[in-house]
Structure 1
Amino acid sequence: MAGETALSTLIREMSPTLNPGQYVFCTLDDAAQLQGCVPLGSFREREGLTAILERGEAERLGLAYDFVAAWITLEVHSALSAVGLTAAFAGALAQAGISCNVVAGYFHDHLFVASTDAERALSTLRALAANAQTE
């Protein structure tokens, strides 16, 4: 199933949704440190395995973290080959002074913003979509 590629449609229909909970990024030398816990996401880098976990799981496992994030999903089914969506929302968030870490899944983009910025990020993204509606 192919996702949307038209930038104007992607922005208009992004429908940002705040997922419940707090999330952290941890770095591990070995996946065995997860003790069977399945991370929300992970990525292998030269320096180690980055795992995105619910904050409570990271604390239960005794894993260090330094950034507590809220998780926002853009509900539009964006194609992995789509051009410009990341730039559009990242630019709007940057203009509002909000840091954003992005993970692209097959169907949706997932944004991790500081938990203290969650509501402001949602407002910024919704305003971006609303402005695209009127253009």
Structure 2
Amino acid sequence: MRGETDLATLISNMRPMLDPQPYVFCTFASKTVQELADYDPIGLFAETEGLTAILGVERARELGLAEAEWFRRITLAVHSSLNAVGLTAAISAALSDHGISANVVAAFFHDHVFVPEERAEEALQVLRSLTQSA
């Protein structure tokens, strides 16, 4: 199933949804993917400096890492193609205009935007406004 590539269609149909759970970005210099699997990460990425894991706060707490900055995930509920051009730029620009940082993770079906927990509701409104203005 192919995802959408037209930017105007993506923005007008993205239906941003806020996940109620907070997440923490953690890095591990010596843990393996197999070791981290027990903590149910919603995302893993191998970097030169170590393995980055996106963990729910409770799972991060088990590792003594829940004091790191908390983020909330906003899922853009439109099936975007991995070849789509401009969606990340558009949502990043809209959030940037309001001084909200955005950590975007593109998965196969949807894009997920991680924003600081204390700005999550505001970020959701910004993205809904972007959708309505498209």
TM-score of the two chains, using structure 1 as the length reference: 0.93
Choose from 75, 92, 95 the match for 1:93.
95
Report if the CA contact (8 A) 2:72-2:114 is conserved: yes
Q: How many residues align?
A: 132
Structure 1 residue 41 corresponds to structure 2 residue 33: no
CA spacing shift, 1:49–1:84, aligned 2, 3 Å? same
The alignment's C-alpha RMSD in Å is 1.4
CA distance in 2, matches of 1:91, 1:44: 27
More moved, 22-31 vs 76-85? 22-31
Q: Which residue of 2 aligns with 1:27?
A: 27
- Paired amino acid for 1:34: L
Identical-residue share of aligned pairs (%): 54
Structure 2's unaligned 5+ residue stretches are none
- Paired amino acid for 2:27: T
Deviation, structure 1 residue 33: 5.2
CA spacing shift, 1:64–1:22, aligned 2, 3 Å? closer
1:62-101 alignment to 2 at 5 Å? 62-63=64-65, 66-101=68-103
Choose from 110, 113, 120 the match for 2:112.
110
Deviation, structure 1 residue 35: 6.8
Q: Which residue of 2 aligns with 1:16?
A: 16
CA spacing shift, 1:80–1:35, aligned 2, 3 Å? closer
